[in-house]
Amino acid sequence: EVQLVESGGGLVQPGGSLRLSCAASGFTFSSYEMSWVRQAPGKGLEWVSYISSRASSIYYADSVKGRFTISRDNAKNSLYLQLNSLRAEDTAVYYCATVAFDPHWGQGTLVTVSS
């Protein structure tokens, strides 16, 4: 069974940093492209970032470009999102998801940016 478990969320002050992790199991993680998606409170879904299976291609939404960094460790079956220079508008639940014909999503981790 495909499982994606996000962690690392929490309360951080504006300008601060966080590192989110996504632990994958139940499939060959190293063969899958992955994405992060976020959802601000009461809002819709927003794609954040993409990474190819070997990390040779990486893309970001304009809203996070230059502040967020996606990475992966295929040996550890893990996906990461480094969040820097955080703003109030980055407050959201962050989900990791497989980029596949039949996508799978994790349960999400909440990031709150507030002083």
63-71, 74-82, 84-92, 94-102 -> range binding another protein (CB under 8 A): 94-102
- Please report, to the nearest 10 degrees, the dihedral formed by the alpha carbons of residues 83, 86, 89, 95 taken in order: 20
Secondary structure of residue 26 in the 3-state scheme: coil
> Applying CB under 8 A, which of residues 30, 102, 111, 115 lies at the interface with another protein?
102
Q: What share of the chain is helix, strand, coil (3-state, %, to 5)?
A: 10, 50, 40
Instruction: Tell which residue, 90, 95, 101, 82, has the closest CA to residue 5.
Output: 95
99 binds another protein (CB under 8 A): yes
Sign of torsion over alpha carbons 27, 29, 34, 39: positive
> Applying CB under 8 A, which of residues 21, 47, 69, 77 lies at the interface with another protein?
47
24-32, 65-73, 81-89, 99-107 -> range binding another protein (CB under 8 A): 99-107
109 binds another protein (CB under 8 A): no
105 binds another protein (CB under 8 A): yes
Task: Using the minimum distance from each CB to another protein, give the nearer residue, 39 or 84.
Answer: 39
40 binds another protein (CB under 8 A): no
